[in-house]
Amino acid sequence: MGDSGTSLEQQLAQFVAGFGVDHIDTQARDCAKGLIKDQLAIQIGACGLPWSRQVRASRRLQAGRSTVVGESGLASALDAAYLNATYGHGFEYDDYAGNAHPGCCVVPVALALGEEVDATLGRMLVAMLAGYEAYVRIGHLASPELLNAGWQPHSVLANFGAAAVAARMHELDANTTLHALSIALSHASGTTEYASTGGSIKRAHAGMAVRNGIESVALARAGITGPQRFLTGDRGLYRTFVRKVVGDDAGATFLPGQPLAIRQLAYKAYCCCAANHAYIEALAPVRGRAADIIGIDARIQTMTDAIVGNRNAHIYAPRNIEELQYSLPVQMALSALGKGNGYRTHRNYLDGRLDLGLDSEVLAMARRIRLEVSPALDRQYPRTFVADLTVHFQDGSSEHLFVDRVTGRPDKPFSRVEHQAKLDELTIDTLGPVRSAQLFALVDALPPDTPVRELTALLNPR
């Protein structure tokens, strides 16, 4: 046991059950508002994508009181959270913390359950942040090993995050919360093989995980119990998934009074895996000399290699959108050539307006890029993606480029104008400018006594 005489698991459950409005300072509240806006915009912008429509077609919705983005009718909270989380994780544009994506877990679950229980926005915010903190703090103790081992961290961690949101929304005591979080371990799964050999199932990982977390709480409320040592036991999360021993002395992770992890959330400026972003920005200074580049040597971290590097089978000739968004050489080539790495670029690929044929200039540039894992970068930057590369030119000169901060991270934050441009890009075509502005204005205000359904009523066109 730790200094408090309780296990790590008990400290986590106590943290979730005891989390309240008094734990939320002004900075954390502002970060939460930004996260809600970012996530809702992505849900709206991605709900019509092909795989989103396919996931929707697979589900026969149960009647309920919760909103599904893109639809006028209401559904059960479980169905609404499943679909909205799928949309929110649907185009590699969602927030990230470490190697995972808490927003597309906690926002859809908090809103769907908030509608179901007639919660206010204040109650929704408390539950959402309790889940965010549980998700990120459990993940921090498994990072970067979870990603390096081949798991998709989100599809593992979102089971716990969703369970924490649901447990707090239903105001469960610490003991029942512990069992809900423990049951979530039985659902945790999902690997990153999609990054190597494709597969749109990755788009549904978020929906699957939040469904599991909500159902974990339902089982716990019915009296089903889980193993007490679901994190630290011999066959718990850490030893089984990442072969890592984590003890009760890590319980400080869940002590109240620490700065909330949401203050470190990062938004995506580019519509691809976050491991690409530093390399995208590193190449900005040489875009005017793209025709003169004869080669690029990129030194990469093990966690970068695990998700967008040499471990992927088709990084030099992606065959589908998933492989494109997880190809470091092709994303670097798009950046060097000035073709963009954002939402429109990837929509253009889907619509056949971006040539990525074997003879295209993009793939020709990608083939000039060599990736090499750097143990030195692993040691110096164990959890933060960075870029370290040398560009070689026809005249025999070379230029070394290094980036350790990227747009959207707390150390290089979006300006309000930059973030609003992303939100508008994703929502105005669907909602129109007036309704889009109303939605984001209400999130900015976030009046605590306002019912959740006044916010969710703005998620679809009139």
- Do residues 318 and 364 both lie within one domain? yes
- For the cut 90, the answer to whether the pLDDT of residue 8 exceeds it is yes
How would you classify the pairing of strands 293-300 and 369-373?
Answer: parallel
- Write the pLDDT tens digit of every residue in 18-38: 999 999 999 999 999 999 999
244 and 280 assigned to the same domain? no
Question: Based on the structure, what is the number of domains in the chain?
Answer: 2
Residue recorded with tokens 């919660």: 119
Do 385 and 362 belong to one domain? yes
Q: What is the secondary structure of 1-57 as a DSSP string?
A: --TTSS-HHHHHHHHHHH--GGG--HHHHHHHHHHHHHHHHHHHHHTTSHHHHHHHH
How many angstroms separate the CA atoms of 17 and 33, rounded?
22
Distant-in-sequence, close-in-space partners of 329: CB < 8 Å, separation ≥ 6: 315, 316, 366, 367, 369, 371
Considering the domain boundaries, does residue 71 fall inside one?
Answer: yes
- Is there a cis peptide before residue 50, judged by omega within 30 degrees of 0? no
CA atoms within 13 A on the CB side of 377: 20
Least confident range of 157-171, 244-258, 338-352:
244-258
Task: Find out whether 246 and 232 touch, Cβ atoms under 8 Å.
Answer: yes
Query: Which residues are CB-neighbours of 391 under 8 A, at least 6 positions away?
Result: 283, 286, 293, 295, 296, 398, 399, 401
pLDDT confidence band for 255 (50 / 70 / 90)? confident
In a domain, 418, yes or no: no
| pLDDT (average), residues 377-388 | 97
411 in a structural domain: no
Tokens standing for residue 443: 């999130």
Look at residue 153 and tell me whether its pLDDT is greater than 50: yes
Q: Are residues 344 and 213 in the same domain?
A: no
Check whether residue 336 and residue 250 sit in a common domain: no
Q: pLDDT grade, residue 5 (50/70/90)? A: confident
pLDDT score for 62: 97
Comparing C-alpha atoms, which of 301, 304, 324 is closest to residue 314?
324
Please state, in angstroms and rounded to a whole number, the distance separating the CA atoms of residues 276 and 260. 27
Neighbours of 373 (CB within 10 A): 17
My answer on whether 251 and 393 are in the same domain is no
- Tokens matching residue 28: 């954390």
Does 282 lie in the same domain as 259?
no
Q: Is residue 444 part of a domain?
A: no
**Integer Cα distance of 169 and 161 in angstroms:** 12
User: In whole angstroms, what is the distance from residue 96 CA to residue 104 CA?
Assistant: 10
Residue 257: pLDDT band (50, 70, 90) is: confident
Helix (H) or strand (E) holding 410: none
Average pLDDT of the chain? 96
212-222 residue pLDDT tens: 999 999 999 99
- CATH code of 156's domain: 1.10.4100.10
Q: Is residue 258 part of a domain?
A: yes
Answer with the one of 246, 264, 282 that is the final residue of a domain: 264
> 10-14 contacts: CB < 8 A, separation 24 or more?
10/174, 10/178, 11/248, 11/251, 11/253, 11/254, 11/255, 12/134, 12/137, 12/138, 12/178, 12/181, 12/231, 12/254, 13/174, 13/175, 13/177, 13/178, 13/181, 14/174, 14/254
Tokens of 296: 């690029």
Domain boundary among 209, 242, 264: 264
The pLDDT tens digits of the residues spanning 95-141 come to 999 899 999 999 999 999 999 999 999 999 999 999 999 999 999 99
CATH number of 316's domain:
3.30.1330.120
Residue 395: CB atoms within 10 Å: 9
Residues 48 and 174 in one domain: yes
User: 105 and 177 share a domain?
Assistant: yes
CA distance 163 to 174: 13
Distance in angstroms (rounded) separating the CA atoms of residues 199 and 204: 10
Do 391 and 245 belong together in one domain? no
Per residue in 61-96, pLDDT (tens digit) is 999 999 999 999 999 999 999 999 999 999 999 999
Going by C-beta distance under 8 Å and a sequence separation of 6 or more, which residues neighbour residue 149? 241, 242, 243
Choosing from 382, 403, 424, the residue where a domain stops is 403
The reply to whether 348 falls in a domain is: yes
pLDDT reading at 3 higher than 70: no
Residues 318 and 233 in one domain: no
Q: In what order do the strands lie in the sheet with 369-373?
A: 369-373, 293-300, 387-393, 398-403
Distance CA 461, CA 67 (A): 12
Q: What range defines the domain where residue 330 resides?
A: 274-403
The reply to whether 419 falls in a domain is no
- Pair (252, 278) in one structural domain: no
What average pLDDT does range 43-58 have in this prediction? 97
What average pLDDT does this structure show over 315-339? 97
Residue 409 counted as domain residue: no
pLDDT at 4: 53
The answer on pLDDT for 373 being more than 90 is: yes
Question: Please, where are the H alpha helices in 47-102?
Answer: 50-57, 77-88
The predicted-structure confidence for 184-209, as pLDDT tens digits, reads as follows 999 999 999 999 999 999 999 999 99
